[in-house]
Structure 1
Amino acid sequence: MTSTATTPRTRRPGVPGVRGVHHVAFTVPDLDEAVAFFTGVLGAETAYRTGPIGDPGGDWMRRQLGVHPRCTVHIAMLRLGPTLNIELFAYSGPGRRRRMPGNSDVGGHHLALWTDDFDASVRHLTAAPGVRMLGEPQRVDDGPIRGTRWVYLTTPWGLHLELVHAPDDLPYRRRTGVRLFEPPAPDEPYAPDDGRGP
């Protein structure tokens, strides 16, 4: 007699029910400036804006968001490219540090953008008012991502961006079945199971 029971798939470690990243978020000094940059320079689309959100007489902002109770916030949610949602926060109120963290600071961060045309992307971004390129474009000559081109830039308010382009034959792929996500080509629809996903 044969069994009709199916063997359960081996469950990978992780949070039950979580299928992916919904969004990344950045706090910016001026919401209008940041939305204009993300939409006008990077090509994002605005899904919605909301605010002010606050609790003038209570403790909700501290309990829920970990900020000073008298803070208020305006929020914009944007869509950038085929898979990335970006949430922008602009706070007002006491207790805010106004200096962006450096890359070596705890909490330092950057937003890396994949490009199919590295040189054209560098020209476009460096032509935008207030954008500054850090150093010169680099090419990785050795190691697991040999052949990758990259450069860091800063937005007008100091957020670090990175432009990245990598060849199809990255050396790390010969040592593991794990594949880093790369956006599909413009004429190629995104399919989560096409081998480009995590």
Structure 2
Amino acid sequence: MGVIKGIEHVGITVPSIEAAERFFQQAFGAKTLYALIEKGGKSQEGDEMYDKNGLEPGTRIIAMRMMRIADGANVELFEVEGGHGATADAPSHMGIHHFALYVDDLEEAAARFRDAGGTMREGPIELGGKEKGPGNRCWFGVAPWGMQVEFIHLPSPIALDDQASSGPRWLPG
């Protein structure tokens, strides 16, 4: 299918690497693959990295972890010192809007999320529009630092605009 194979990882800036790592392990069964930067070790400095990855001058990445969640994309966690946010697209800006995890059981996923310290928003939500179908639902939760996580379950087909040219929506096997 060409050059692009799929999402390899999602990068998320968090306020505490230790707390976020524990949360991802407890809430999602994530496994820590490796630490790219350890606290107290050599950090990535914004003054050196701005042109390479957008890390703002005056900030520094003090910890990074690469984690794996089940059979989907990896998650790369960043802890940054020195401010969070003159630009929305820099590693020094806190978080991402949300990411979604496909689950077989929304209630079970929500319970595990709550047990790890997250809170669930109102839900589950019956999906509508092109995602409407028997059993197609989602439910949003909020991680302890405020980032949203969507749990989604799609047992019924989705009406794609042009499946002939786009192919089917990817779902975990």
Task: Describe the superposition over 1:7-38 as per-residue Cα deviations: whole angstroms up to 9, x where unpaired.
Answer: xxxxx8xxx74333221111111111111111
AA partner of residue 50 (structure 1) = L
User: Mean Cα displacement is larger for which, 27-36 or 45-54?
Assistant: 45-54
How many percent of aligned residue pairs carry the same amino acid? 29
The 2-side partners of 1:50 and 1:90 are apart by 11
CA-CA distance at 1:134 after TM superposition: 1.4
Aligned 1:90-105 pairs, distance under 5 A? 90-93=79-82, 95-97=83-85
Where does residue 15 of structure 2 map in the other structure? 29
RMSD between aligned residues? 2.7
Describe the shift of the 1:19–1:176 C-alpha distance in structure 2 as closer, same or farther (beyond 3 A).
closer
AA partner of residue 11 (structure 2) = A
1:47 is matched with which residue: 33, 39, 60? Answer: 33
AA partner of residue 43 (structure 1) = G
Where does residue 127 of structure 1 map in the other structure? 115
In structure 1, stretches of 5+ residues that fail to align are 1-11, 101-106, 185-198
The 2-side partners of 1:171 and 1:54 are apart by 43
TM-score, normalised to structure 1, is: 0.69
In structure 2, stretches of 5+ residues that fail to align are 89-94
User: Mean Cα displacement is larger for which, 154-163 or 143-152?
Assistant: 143-152
Task: Describe the superposition over 1:14-66 as per-residue Cα deviations: whole angstroms up to 9, x where unpaired.
Answer: xx7433322111111111111111112211111111224234xx931222232
AA partner of residue 153 (structure 1) = G
The 1-side partners of 2:139 and 2:119 are apart by 11
User: Which structure is higher in helix share?
Assistant: 2
The 2-side partners of 1:76 and 1:33 are apart by 12
SS at match of 1:150: strand
